[in-house]
Amino acid sequence: MMLHLATIRARLILAFSVLLGLLLAVAAVSLQRLEGLTTTTQEIVNYQARRVFMAQSMNLHAQAAAIDLLKLLQTPERDKRVPLYAAMDEEMAASSKAVNDLAQTGVASDVQTYIDQVTDLQQRYAVLLQETVELLEIEGPTKARAHFEDRTHKVLNTLFFDSRALETHLQQVMQAKLEQLRASATQARQLVVLLALCALAAGTGLAWAVARGIVLPLQKAVSIAKAIASGDYHQSVPTGHHDEVGALLRALRVMRDSISTREEKILRLAYIDPLTDLPNRTRFMELFDAHPSNASGALMLLDVDRFAPINNALGHQVGDHLLCQVAIRIKRAAGESSLVARLWGDKFAIMMEGINQLTAAVRVQQILSAVRAPMTIGGQRLDIDASVGIALYPQDGTDITTLLRRADVAMTVAKRRLDSIAFGSEMVDEPAHEQLSLIGEMREALAQGEFVVYYQPKLNLKQNKVTAAEALIRWRHPAKGMIPPAYFIPFAEQTGFILEITAWVLRQVVEDAVHWQHAGISVVASVNLSTRDLLNHRLVAEILGLLSRSGLPTKQLCLEITESALMEEPELALRHLDELAAHGLKLSIDDYGTGQSSLAYVKTLPVDELKIDRAFITGVDVTPKNAAIVRSTILLCQELGLSVVAEGAETAEELAWLRFNQCDFVQGYGLAKPMPLREFIPWVQQFNHS
């Protein structure tokens, strides 16, 4: 194999050597031609020398004519002057001819200026010369010499000077042309030499690159063939060219891909989720069981909130795309060292080794931040959230089944608490037995009339009268006695039975409110609505129908909502609240200050009242921070035109502080405990008339 590779390399080097030899030959020929061009150019330059010669000839003939004139002035015999006249005329004619020939060679404008000056001087000199000759012949040498020295000699000197200037200028022009041609020739030689060197370097580099482009892919092919034989299908195969080497590489790639595809299909069917390409439940459990028994870490179960409504409203294709995006974000945020799997539906599992509870909480927040980032699917912007249950091992269990169960319980609690995160260590494994029995008994209790409504008064501090009351449900169990709502309402919300309970409470409260209206008590009744109630599409129609049938004015009924009731489907919830407010019902935000975005709800919801949570009212007279929060909330509501209800006021000092700071209403044991209707009516009558 290596011998064949060496032969290919040798042939390529030989071929490129021939090519380089041809390039060098071309360069040599170019140099030879360039020398010929230089010679020809030199011949052209001689044309400039001819111009210089003409100028010199013109100057010499003018000087000869001047010498003949001087001889004439010094020759007294006329017969001896006759030959000198002929010689002088011949020299003047030759000088004029030289000037005319020079002008006809197509000189530049600056040279033409010199020629014009010389021509003009020649003409003037000819006139003066004629005058000198005439004086010589008529009046004698003395007059002629005087005329020559006075006028002719001056013009002659000027003519000599300008002729020499023209000659000098032409010599300078010729020298400049020669220098320019020499410089051009030198540059041409250098360029040819540079091109030859570049060709040599480029050819050498090309030969090396082509040889390397063949040798290296084949060497890589040998390595890949060995890797495929050992079961490694991840090494890339060079593309190659449309030749024998390229065909070999393509065949090798097809072989690798075919083997890899068959094995991947087998593994995918058994271990990979086909939608997200993540490990499935079987693979996740197998990988967890394979980790060391003494290892520690966290198992996280993530569930996408409100996935079912999104899937139902936008279709399964959008839902599938959403799950794929969530899977990508979880995997990216969890990091390469974590194991991420899709267990079923919209539930994902994450296993991180070597982390404790604090680190797990930080890592989960990073994952949730990635999941919560808005995404656009099919032109639809989706803002999603998720809930995560965390089970730590070995603290919460050592086997995968126990850890998944505890993480699932924690995730359910996180959803209910709207905390996003809950730990399995905070939960019991399953609901207590008596709670499970209560869940089964609630429907029968409603049918048997075991539920009752208690009313807790709200004191109007400005009027010092009770003008409102909150309806609170109680369960009078025949065997277990009075059961508080916190013990059964959460389970009613989980099962959806809360809708039937709320409907019953509304009917009972409206009936009781009509009763105390007839008794002369003007008290607004407040009823709490859960998340499921607020998302009930029949909610508005049922409440308005109930009020219409009873004759109770809409302003005498107040509906209390919490921030959690607005989290599931805020647009639908806000639409229902707008409709209720438009018909005159009062709306109140309950447990203000305990959520994450209460100010946003105060701004957007059509509410009339805001109830400050008891956590801020307790000790408000002695706790500066609580006092600052309550005081600022009261001022805010005054600016927004809202009433303020302080929940949980239990001491006379708290009541006095709230009255001094202009709180509108107070509610709590410091005023009165919740009481049934038979006690509520006489209590209110006595309080308001005392």
- CATH code, 61: 1.20.120.1730
Structure-token pair, residue 460:
């109007």
Residues 139 and 46 in one domain: yes
Q: Examine residue 253 and state whether it is found in any structural domain, yes or no.
A: no
pLDDT in tens, 301-313: 999 988 888 887 7
Residues 170 and 292 in one domain: no
Residue 27 clears pLDDT 70, i.e. is over it? no
Residues 386 and 299 in one domain: yes
pLDDT band at 113 (very low <50, low <70, confident <90, very high): confident
Residues 386 and 476 in one domain: no
Secondary structure class of 558 (helix, strand, coil)? strand
Residue 88: closest CA among 62, 114, 113: 62
pLDDT band at 38 (very low <50, low <70, confident <90, very high): low
CATH of the domain at 321: 3.30.70.270
Letter for the amino acid at 235?
Answer: Q
- Measured between alpha carbons, how far is 246 from 235 in angstroms, rounded to an integer? 17
Q: Examine residue 236 and state whether it is found in any structural domain, yes or no.
A: no
Angle between helices 498-518 and 539-550 (to 10 degrees): 20
pLDDT band at 185 (very low <50, low <70, confident <90, very high): low
Cβ–Cβ < 8 Å for 114, 169: yes
Q: Of 37-46, 175-184, 412-421, where does mean pLDDT reach its minimum?
A: 37-46
- Measured between alpha carbons, how far is 78 from 68 in angstroms, rounded to an integer? 14
Q: Phi and psi at residue 528, in whole multiples of 5°?
A: -80, 140
Residue 183 clears pLDDT 60, i.e. is over it? yes
Cα 349 to Cα 317, 429, 592, distances in angstroms: 23, 19, 35
Q: Is the pTM of this model over 0.85?
A: no
Higher-scoring residue by pLDDT: 226, 468: 468
Q: Of 142-156, 368-382, 661-675, where does mean pLDDT reach its minimum?
A: 142-156
**Quick one: pLDDT at residue 3?**
40
Average pLDDT over residues 263-290: 84
Average pLDDT over residues 241-252: 68
Tokens 């060709």 belong to which residue? 199
Residues 6+ apart with CB under 8 A from 285: 400
Q: Examine residue 3 and state whether it is found in any structural domain, yes or no.
A: no
Residue 130 clears pLDDT 80, i.e. is over it? no
Residues 546 and 485 in one domain: yes
Cα 407 to Cα 357, 391, 420, 493, distances in angstroms: 13, 5, 13, 21
Residue 95: closest CA among 141, 59, 139: 59
Over 150-212, what HEC string results?
Answer: HHHHHHHHHHHHHHHHHHHHHHHHHHHHHHHHHHHHHHHHHHHHHHHHHHHHHHHHHHHHHHH
Percent of the chain with pLDDT strictly greater than 90: 33
Structure-token pair, residue 661:
């700071």
Cis peptide before 238 (omega within 30 of 0): no
Residue 219: closest CA among 180, 255, 188, 249: 249
Residues 420 and 451 in one domain: no
Residues 677 and 555 in one domain: yes
**Quick one: pLDDT at residue 430?**
47
**Best-predicted range by mean pLDDT among 47-51, 71-75, 443-447?**
443-447
pLDDT in tens, 394-427: 988 888 988 998 998 888 888 877 778 999 877 6
**Quick one: pLDDT at residue 51?**
60
| CB hemisphere CA count around 567 (13 angstroms) | 19
Cβ–Cβ < 8 Å for 645, 610: yes
Give the residue from 367, 396, 426 where a domain finishes.
426
pLDDT in tens, 578-605: 999 999 999 998 877 765 545 666 777 8
Residue 6: closest CA among 196, 215, 153: 215
Residues 561 and 671 in one domain: yes
Letter for the amino acid at 269?
Answer: L
Tokens 């499935």 belong to which residue? 280
**Quick one: pLDDT at residue 192?**
67
**Quick one: pLDDT at residue 290?**
86
* DSSP codes of every residue in 626-662: HHHHHHHHHHHHHHHT-EEEEET--SHHHHHHHHHTT
Secondary structure class of 530 (helix, strand, coil)? coil
Cβ–Cβ < 8 Å for 466, 523: yes
Residue 339 clears pLDDT 80, i.e. is over it? yes
Residues 6+ apart with CB under 8 A from 486: none
pLDDT band at 526 (very low <50, low <70, confident <90, very high): very high
Residues 420 and 449 in one domain: no
- The DSSP 8-state label assigned to residue 140 in this structure reads -
Residues 344 and 391 in one domain: yes
Residues 535 and 657 in one domain: yes
Average pLDDT over residues 565-582: 83
Secondary structure class of 496 (helix, strand, coil)? coil
Count the helix, strand and coil residues of the chain and give each as a percent rounded to the nearest 5: 65, 15, 20
pLDDT in tens, 614-626: 889 989 999 999 9
Residue 643 clears pLDDT 90, i.e. is over it? yes
Q: How confident is the prediction for the chain on average, in pLDDT?
A: 80
Q: Of 252-256, 278-282, 431-435, 670-674, where does mean pLDDT reach its minimum?
A: 431-435
Residue 572 clears pLDDT 90, i.e. is over it? no
- Cβ-based neighbour number of residue 378 at 10 Å: 10
pLDDT band at 154 (very low <50, low <70, confident <90, very high): confident
**Quick one: pLDDT at residue 134?**
74
**Quick one: pLDDT at residue 647?**
93
Q: Examine residue 6 and state whether it is found in any structural domain, yes or no.
A: no
Give the residue from 207, 241, 258 where a domain finishes.
207
Secondary structure class of 453 (helix, strand, coil)? strand
Cβ–Cβ < 8 Å for 215, 240: no
Structure-token pair, residue 224:
């890949």
Residues 6+ apart with CB under 8 A from 156: 62, 66, 125
Strands annotated E in 478-514:
481-483
Residue 575: closest CA among 603, 536, 528, 609: 536
Residues 6+ apart with CB under 8 A from 45: 174, 177, 178, 181
482 burial via Cβ count (<10 Å: 0-12, 13-18, 19+): exposed
- Measured between alpha carbons, how far is 204 from 368 in angstroms, rounded to an integer? 58
Number of domains into which the chain is organized? 3
Q: Of 214-218, 294-298, 551-555, where does mean pLDDT reach its minimum?
A: 214-218
Percent of the chain with pLDDT strictly greater than 70: 75
Q: What is the separation of C-alpha 213 from the centre of its chain, rounded to a whole number of angstroms?
A: 38
Higher-scoring residue by pLDDT: 134, 632: 632
**Quick one: pLDDT at residue 4?**
46
Range of the domain at 65: 17-207
**Quick one: pLDDT at residue 542?**
94
Average pLDDT over residues 523-543: 91
Give the residue from 154, 188, 207 where a domain finishes.
207
Residue 257 clears pLDDT 90, i.e. is over it? no
pLDDT in tens, 354-391: 999 999 999 999 999 999 998 888 788 888 889 999 99
Residue 5 clears pLDDT 50, i.e. is over it? no
**Quick one: pLDDT at residue 568?**
63
pLDDT band at 256 (very low <50, low <70, confident <90, very high): confident
Cβ–Cβ < 8 Å for 270, 259: no
**Quick one: pLDDT at residue 6?**
46
Q: Of 289-298, 421-430, 551-560, where does mean pLDDT reach its minimum?
A: 421-430
Q: Examine residue 262 and state whether it is found in any structural domain, yes or no.
A: no
Secondary structure class of 619 (helix, strand, coil)? coil
Residue 494: closest CA among 529, 528, 530: 530
- The DSSP 8-state label assigned to residue 475 in this structure reads E
Structure-token pair, residue 405:
């169960």
Angle between helices 2-73 and 78-103 (to 10 degrees): 150
pLDDT in tens, 464-518: 999 999 999 999 988 888 888 877 887 788 778 889 999 999 999 999 999 999 9
Q: Of 1-5, 54-58, 102-106, 256-260, where does mean pLDDT reach its minimum?
A: 1-5
Q: Phi and psi at residue 240, in whole multiples of 5°?
A: 75, -175
Residues 379 and 473 in one domain: no
Higher-scoring residue by pLDDT: 205, 323: 323
